Structure 1
């Protein structure tokens, strides 16, 4: 189907990026200016800022407790933003919705951003917080069951890389991985996936912008063929956690997410791939106030809690 009319209307009001090199500081300031005041955010039982002391250093986190209960599953969330944008604040509403719809205690990770901290700094922060969460189950009121990880866009990159890194280290406590329109291949050959051409222009994220956006993360000479940078390059996917991969019909990154799902399935990993019709990249962050896209949070809750996954939003 065509792009959702409300998404198309709003995209039509946005100015193009200014010419010349990207300015991370200015773009971050623009994002920060759009964060709604606290009183306008989804209320939860408790939201608190804390610091996770990890092998990667001290990492700021925000802990979301959905309701008053004795114990919770844990969901560690990695925000998106092409590795150089996004923060605990810009994605606060995503973390709140995840907590509400999953019933899990959500730990959002304020990882280091490129270009100030290029690959693998952000990845190491995310991995360190997952290990920290598992080691602090008592203080987090963990029920000892689910330890899930979730992320959108570049946060989805971290999800796949953290799952693989944990498996290789023999840390097999991660039970679920959830990726919203993940960026899984940082080799941005425009002919590599049909969706790169099909959705190149006019849907928000444009194919031509992928390389300059992600170059900040790789500017220290990191190899985009490294499976920790491009998780789709990993050869052996056997034994990774059960996965939910949510893609968007009008996203240049659609096909790599769906290919990764097929490869996980071939490796014997339980996987659900769900394509949201009429959506473009970033819809969980920007358009989840539309009921048909808020369903991504509900689908995540069903996945984590073992309920049947609805399919009407898919292909």
Structure 2
């Protein structure tokens, strides 16, 4: 497809997808929390200038007070899904609500720039820029950045791995070149929460489908084609750890990823096998990887409007992930 054709198709799909999201966020009960406040920031890491929005969800106990007597709030940075081509930072409002209800944590969902206008690696660099900005402005928002965690769904799950690795590279570069901003307090990424994230871009969609005999198709092939042609239009090397963390070197994974992770995969997903393979590999490297496979569901099952019916499997998965996060936060 031409770049113009990709943009037109992406615009159409985004419009349709936003309608389904509206049904979920405004007509499916119980309703999730609304955005508490937003900030617009510049993407400082990307070579392509631009701005991105940060959406904040805060717990009932939230206060901006920087008084030493007031406990700082934990920080979870979230990356939405959509093949890095569609989707919005509001898509994960239900997940953010689960976190703010059960933890004294602020959730910041990043509205990174999307392909095909901004292909790989712009979205990753936008998210790294967001993390650095949050760390620099931690006092303003009363955040404990020594306990930063990332979360993401689908393409956003891949971003969890990629942003963690790219952030490590950026910090090392700044230190090496003596350019670490004096106003930046370096935080620490202590956990990733990944919902059905991709880990191996070298595999074709057909190979991914064939790997799971219990496949439950939920995304039509033309959408996968749109995602792949849009995000990969910069012709990157598919073995890059920022695209395929599942085949990255042991050194990259040891240094670039935190010691504790949560992985929630779908039993009927084309990404199941590569995700579970990556889980075992990380465990073999000494990482602690919580999580499980949600049986009987396909990719993105938790994003469907439920009206008044609710979704028990979704609620259980979110509760498990928050419990695991709280466990990590209590240890560090």
TM-score, with normalisation over the residues of structure 1?
0.81
Aligned to 1:244: 262
Instruction: Give CA-to-partner distance per residue, 1:185-220, whole Å, 9 cap, x none.
Output: 1223357557644255x4313578534422210012
Instruction: Tell whether 2:283 aligns with 1:265.
Output: yes
Q: Are 2:155 and 2:198, in contact at CA under 8 Å, matched by a contact in 1?
A: yes
Deviates more, 1:272-281 or 1:177-186: 272-281
Instruction: Tell whether 2:313 aligns with 1:292.
Output: yes
Shift of 1:223: 1.9
Q: Are 1:31 and 1:90, in contact at CA under 8 Å, matched by a contact in 2?
A: no
Matches within 5 A, 1:273-288: 273-286=291-304
Alignment CA distance shift 1:207-1:274 (3 Å): farther
Unpaired segments ≥5 residues, structure 2: 63-69, 173-185
Alignment CA distance shift 1:287-1:275 (3 Å): farther
Aligned to 2:17: 31
Q: Are 2:196 and 2:263, in contact at CA under 8 Å, matched by a contact in 1?
A: yes
Instruction: Tell whether 2:198 aligns with 1:183.
Output: yes
Q: Are 2:61 and 2:104, in contact at CA under 8 Å, matched by a contact in 1?
A: no
Matches within 5 A, 1:204-215: 204-205=218-219, 210-215=224-229
Instruction: Give CA-to-partner distance per residue, 1:135-193, whole Å, 9 cap, x none.
Output: 22111211344200000000011100111122333477111111000011122335755
Aligned to 1:150: 151
CA RMSD of aligned residues (A): 2.7
Aligned to 1:15: none
TM-score, with normalisation over the residues of structure 2?
0.77
Instruction: Tell whether 2:73 aligns with 1:52.
Output: no
Deviates more, 1:279-288 or 1:263-272: 279-288
Alignment CA distance shift 1:102-1:283 (3 Å): farther
Q: Are 1:198 and 1:252, in contact at CA under 8 Å, matched by a contact in 2?
A: no
Matches within 5 A, 1:117-132: 117-132=118-133
Instruction: Tell whether 2:54 aligns with 1:61.
Output: yes
Instruction: Tell whether 2:219 aligns with 1:229.
Output: no
Distance 2:305 2:203 in 1: 26
Deviates more, 1:133-142 or 1:249-258: 133-142
Q: Are 1:166 and 1:172, in contact at CA under 8 Å, matched by a contact in 2?
A: no
Larger RCO: 1 or 2 (CA < 8 Å, sep 6+): 2
Instruction: Give CA-to-partner distance per residue, 1:118-150, whole Å, 9 cap, x none.
Output: 000101011111122122211121134420000
Alignment CA distance shift 1:144-1:189 (3 Å): closer
Matches within 5 A, 1:183-202: 183-189=198-204, 192=207, 196-200=211-215, 202=216
Aligned to 2:179: none
Deviates more, 1:203-212 or 1:108-117: 203-212
The size of the alignment, in residue pairs, is 286
Deviates more, 1:286-295 or 1:140-149: 286-295
Q: Are 1:101 and 1:301, in contact at CA under 8 Å, matched by a contact in 2?
A: yes
Q: Are 1:197 and 1:207, in contact at CA under 8 Å, matched by a contact in 2?
A: no
Alignment CA distance shift 1:117-1:99 (3 Å): same
Shift of 1:54: 4.1
